[in-house]
Amino acid sequence: MREVKIGFLGMGNVGSGAYRILRDNADVITHREGIKYTVVSALVRDKSKSRGDIPQQLLTTEPDDILCNPDIEIVAEFLGGVEPARTYILRAFENGKTVVTANKVVLANCWPELEASARKHGVGLYYEASVAGGIPIIRTLYSSMQANRITKVMGIINGTTNYILSAMSSQGRSYSEVLAEAQRIGLAEADPTLDVEGLDAAYKLSLLASIAFHAKVPMKHVYHEGITAITKQDIAIGKEMGLTLKLLAIGKKEDGQIQVRVHPTFIPDSHPLAAISGATNAVYLDCDALGELVLSGQGAGSMPTGSAVVSDIVYASQQQKHAYNTFKNDDNIPEISFNTNWESEYFVSVMAPDKPGILAAVAGIFAANNVSIASMVQKRTGEERVPVIFLTHRCRELNMKRAIEGIGGVEGLSVSGTIRVEAMS
C-alpha cells in the first residue's frame, strides 16, 4: 500500500486536530482511500512544551527537517501570518512538495506568488481550511460549481462576531458586555480587532470571491467595516421590523463589476442566513444554473478545521496533476473591474427632536441625494430627542454617504446608525 508522509509546520490548535484525525481515523481513511497517511515530523517553537498525546519525537525546531526531508510528500502549514509561512511554503514547492495550508493571511497577501511557484514546480497548493473552517466551500466552488456563473457569494464567515451579534440579539445585551463574555470563554481574542473590525472576514472574502468570480480579488479592494458601533437599540428596532443583524461578507458580480464588502447587514428573518447563530458559519451562493446553495457548519475549532486540512491532504495525494487557477484578470481581460459605489437598501437611525418639521427636513435631504425612503418609524420615548428610523429603497453608497453628511449638518439632528440591508434575492 502506498504511504504518504506528511510534515507539519506548526502543532497548535488546528495542527493537533489534523494530527489526531489522521491517527484516530486512520482505519476508515486507509480503507476508503487505499493510502496510508503518516505524519513524520512537526515544526514547533518549543519542543519542551507539553502537548498531551502528541508524541515528543515528532517535534523539531528546525524547518529544514521538514522542508528538505525527501521522504515528505505533503507539507501542512499551520503557522498563520505572512512570514515565515510564505518563505517555508516557497521552499517546500522548490523541493517538490505539495502544500496544504490553513493560513488565510499568507494566501490573501501572497496568492499570485505562491500559485506561480506551485505551478512552476508542478506541485499542489490546497487551502480548504483557510476559509470557514470545516465547511467545504473551497472544494465545492472548484469541483461542484463548474457549470455556473456565480453572481453572489455571501457568508457568515467569522464565528466570533456572529456569536457576539447573536447574543446581543437574543439577550438584548450591549456589544461591550458580550465581547467581554466572549473573551472570557475563549471565543474572542484579548485583542479582538481582527475579528470585530471585519478584517478576518475580509481576508476570507478575498479568497472566496476570487474563486467564485474567477478573478483575482486583492485585499485592497475588499471594503470592511466592523461591529463595534452596533447598538442594542439598532438590533432591537431591526427585530421589530423583521430584520436580523449579521456581519456579512458579500461578494457580487453585476455587469462585469465586482463588489466585495464586509459590514454589519440587516437581512429578513426568513433569509437562509438569518438562522445561522452562535459560532456557526455559513456560505450562500447564488448561481445562474443551480440557483441558491447554502452550506453551514463549524467554521473554526481544532477538529472541524483539522477535518478540512485532512480532506486536502487526502485529495492532494490523489491528484495525478494539480490544478491551478486561470483568473480572468491574469489575462488582463478588461471586463473585470471593482465597484465601491454599490447599490443597497439602508437602515438609517436618526436622533431628532420630537417636533413637527423634522421628518420633512430629513426627507428633503434624502431626496436631494437621490435616496428614496421605503418606510419610516418614529419612536416615542418621552425623551427630548427620539430615534427616527428610515428604511430606504436601493440607492448608491455614495449618495447615502452624502445624505448622512447632510443630515449630520442640520442642528439638532445626528445619525446614530447606518446599516446596510440585504433583501432576499
CA distance 358 to 223: 33
| Site membership for a second copy, residue 228 (CB under 8 A) | no
In the shown chain, the binding pattern of residues 359 to 398 toward a second copy, with x for contact by CB under 8 A and - for none, equals ----------------------------------------
| Site membership for a second copy, residue 268 (CB under 8 A) | no
From the list 152-160, 293-301, 343-351, 371-379, the region that binds a second copy by CB under 8 A is 293-301
CA distance 155 to 294: 9
* H/E element, 414: strand 414-421
- CB of 63 or CB of 136, closer to a second copy: 136
- CB of 56 or CB of 144, closer to a second copy: 144
Q: Which of 48, 57, 320, 332 binds a second copy (CB under 8 A)?
A: 320
Q: What amino acid occupies position 271?
A: H
Q: Residue 83: exposed, middle, or buried by beta-carbon count in 10 A (0-12, 13-18, 19+)? A: exposed
| Site membership for a second copy, residue 323 (CB under 8 A) | yes
- CB of 219 or CB of 294, closer to a second copy: 294
| Site membership for a second copy, residue 31 (CB under 8 A) | yes
For the record, the C-alpha cell of 80 comes out as 498563520
From the list 50-58, 130-138, 371-379, 402-410, the region that binds a second copy by CB under 8 A is 130-138
Query: DSSP letter at 4?
Result: E
Nearest 5°: the CA angle 417, 421, 425 is 175
Task: Supply φ then ψ for residue 358, to 5 degrees.
Answer: -65, -50
- Judged by CB under 8 A, how many residues of this single chain contact a second copy? 55
Alpha helices in 261-415 (DSSP H): 302-317, 358-368, 397-408
Q: Judge whether 53 and 339 are in contact, CB under 8 Å.
A: no
Min dist CB 51 to a second copy, Å, is 19
Query: DSSP letter at 134?
Result: T
Min dist CB 272 to a second copy, Å, is 7
| Residue 382 CB neighbours (<10 A) | 6
Min dist CB 10 to a second copy, Å, is 18
- CB of 334 or CB of 409, closer to a second copy: 334
- Give the largest Cα separation in the chain, rounded: 82
Q: Judge whether 156 and 282 are in contact, CB under 8 Å.
A: yes
Min dist CB 355 to a second copy, Å, is 44
| Site membership for a second copy, residue 2 (CB under 8 A) | no
Spell out the residues 6+ positions from residue 364 whose beta carbon is closer than 8 angstroms to its own: none
| Site membership for a second copy, residue 15 (CB under 8 A) | no
Min dist CB 234 to a second copy, Å, is 25
| Site membership for a second copy, residue 214 (CB under 8 A) | yes
Q: Which of 117, 169, 311, 349 binds a second copy (CB under 8 A)?
A: 311
CA distance 408 to 398: 15
The helix, strand and coil proportions of the chain, stated in percent and rounded to the nearest 5, come to 40, 25, 35
- CB of 322 or CB of 396, closer to a second copy: 322
Q: Which of 101, 103, 265, 298 binds a second copy (CB under 8 A)?
A: 298
| Site membership for a second copy, residue 116 (CB under 8 A) | no
- CB of 204 or CB of 261, closer to a second copy: 204
| Site membership for a second copy, residue 239 (CB under 8 A) | no
Min dist CB 256 to a second copy, Å, is 12
Q: What amino acid occupies position 118?
A: A
- CB of 291 or CB of 408, closer to a second copy: 291
**Nearest CA among 104, 132, 138, 97 for reference residue 118:** 97
| Site membership for a second copy, residue 135 (CB under 8 A) | yes
How many residues make up the chain in this entry?
Answer: 425
Spell out the residues 6+ positions from residue 354 whose beta carbon is closer than 8 angstroms to its own: 378, 380, 383, 384, 385, 386
Active-site residue list:
204
Min dist CB 42 to a second copy, Å, is 18
Q: Which of 1, 147, 190, 424 binds a second copy (CB under 8 A)?
A: 147
CA distances 302 to 79, 80, 275, Å, are 14, 14, 24
Q: By CB under 8 A, name the binding residues for a second copy.
A: 17, 21-22, 25, 28-29, 31-34, 128, 134-136, 139-140, 143-149, 214, 272, 275, 287-298, 301, 303-304, 306-311, 314-315, 318, 320-321, 323, 326, 328
